[in-house]
């Protein structure tokens, strides 16, 4: 899974996307903050590889990207749009291969610009970055080679509050970045950061009108935050492996960034700090019962603005949900299985 797989739709309902065997399932609230509907298959009968990237635009449409098997051991990327949780998603639409044809080259990432156009990024056979973007009036532009080399599987794509697309990746000696200089332009190589990054820990989050914050775990096991033009800041030791989930919220009148991660104990750990003020410090507080080892954690705000945390396990299919209580601080309701 790559991107925010817990989303709030235009009607205020939350939805969750998850992999299940060779397809993708969606579960959604029947009404905002209400019970959850049964899982529904997304995108028709197309069989998929076990990889999924999810992005959402300002119109709150969900864009999903995966790989599908084609012929003779080859694969191609496919895209689907889900306009609302209550509606069926569009069927999977083939969007090609970064090298025209071949095997899976790496997990994709997707971001959506201010015009609602999906931008899909994936490593190519040469180890660089390729992208394909939707046209504003339908269809897709040709694939573009954005260059680079020695990219790992980690990719994190976001759209800033100005609607410009950015994508981050990891290489043996750090983090590399491509940014759009203006709407509709081809992303170009920008800042890079030389720091050892643990594989599978990259996460990019829009934290203000001006900044994207990139979270990662360094070689010593510390969770770090980095913004363009600054040195990375050490927040606290990572609670566990994998990337953190992050969401902006207000705690006691202070704009904050809330983090969540499956801890080594198996429980979900939360930490919060004033937005973009890593020097203020943060500490983990664990919550709930242990979840399966493969469970992923996601954060979002519901239709009423309350923070919601969800865990999803691919092997068990179990979904656990908690919400912030309507009181001061970061008090959470009891976790429940839905």
pLDDT score, position 54: 98
Domain presence at residue 65:
yes
Domain presence at residue 315:
no
* Residue 164 β-bridge partners: none
* Range of the structural domain that residue 82 is part of: 2-194
pLDDT score, position 85: 87
Contact (CB, 8 A) for 121 and 15: no
Contact (CB, 8 A) for 159 and 113: yes
Question: pTM of the full predicted structure?
Answer: 0.96
Domain presence at residue 215:
no
In CATH, what number is assigned to the domain containing residue 164? 2.120.10.10
For the sheet containing 129-133, what is the strand order? 109-112, 118-123, 129-133, 144-145
pLDDT score, position 326: 83
State how far the alpha carbon of 149 is from the alpha carbons of 109, 170, 193, 314, in Å. 17, 10, 15, 32
pLDDT score, position 80: 97
Count of domains in the chain?
Answer: 1
DSSP 184-223: TPPPEEEEEEES-B-TT--EEEE-SSS-EEEEEEBTTSEE
DSSP 280: G
Give the three-state DSSP class for 279. Answer: helix
Give the three-state DSSP class for 278. Answer: helix
pLDDT score, position 29: 95
pLDDT score, position 137: 83
Domain presence at residue 213:
no
Q: Output phi, psi for 97, to 5 deg.
A: -140, 140
Domain presence at residue 228:
no
pLDDT score, position 314: 87
| Low-confidence residues of the chain: pLDDT under 70 | none
pLDDT score, position 97: 98
Domain presence at residue 289:
no
Domain presence at residue 205:
no
> In which residue are the tokens 């003779």 written?
72
Domain presence at residue 282:
no
pLDDT score, position 138: 86
């Amino acid at each position: 899974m790559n991107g925010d797989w817990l989303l709030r739709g235009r009607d205020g309902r939350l939805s969750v996307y998850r992999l299940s065997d060779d397809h993708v399932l969606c579960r959604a609230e029947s009404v905002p903050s209400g019970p959850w509907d049964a899982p529904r298959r997304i995108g028709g009968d197309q069989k998929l590889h076990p990889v999924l990237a999810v992005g959402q635009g300002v119109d709150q449409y969900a864009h999903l990207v995966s790989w599908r098997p084609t012929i003779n051991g080859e694969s191609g990327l496919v895209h689907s749009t889900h306009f609302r949780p209550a509606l069926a998603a569009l069927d999977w639409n083939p969007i090609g291969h970064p090298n025209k044809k071949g095997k899976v080259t790496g997990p994709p990432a997707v971001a959506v610009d201010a015009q609602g156009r999906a931008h899909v990024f994936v490593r190519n056979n040469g180890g660089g970055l390729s992208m394909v973007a939707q046209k504003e009036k339908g269809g897709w532009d040709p694939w573009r080679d954005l260059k680079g080399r020695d990219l790992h599987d980690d990719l994190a794509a976001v759209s800033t509050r100005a609607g410009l697309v950015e994508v981050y990746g990891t290489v043996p000696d750090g983090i590399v970045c491509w940014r759009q200089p203006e709407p509709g332009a081809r992303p170009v190589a920008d800042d890079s950061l030389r720091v050892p990054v643990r594989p599978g820990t990259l996460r990019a989050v829009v934290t203000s009108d001006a900044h994207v914050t990139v979270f990662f775990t360094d070689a010593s096991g510390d969770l770090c935050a980095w913004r363009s033009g600054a040195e990375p800041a050490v927040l606290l030791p990572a609670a566990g492996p994998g990337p953190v989930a992050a969401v902006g919220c207000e705690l006691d009148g202070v704009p904050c960034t809330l983090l969540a991660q499956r801890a080594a104990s198996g429980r979900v750990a939360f930490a919060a700090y004033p937005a973009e003020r890593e020097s203020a410090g943060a500490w983990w507080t664990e919550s709930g019962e242990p979840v399966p080892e493969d469970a992923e954690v996601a954060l979002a705000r519901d239709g009423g603005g309350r923070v919601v945390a969800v865990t999803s396990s691919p092997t068990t299919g179990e979904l656990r949900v908690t919400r912030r209580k309507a009181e001061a601080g970061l008090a959470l309701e009891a976790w429940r299985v839905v």
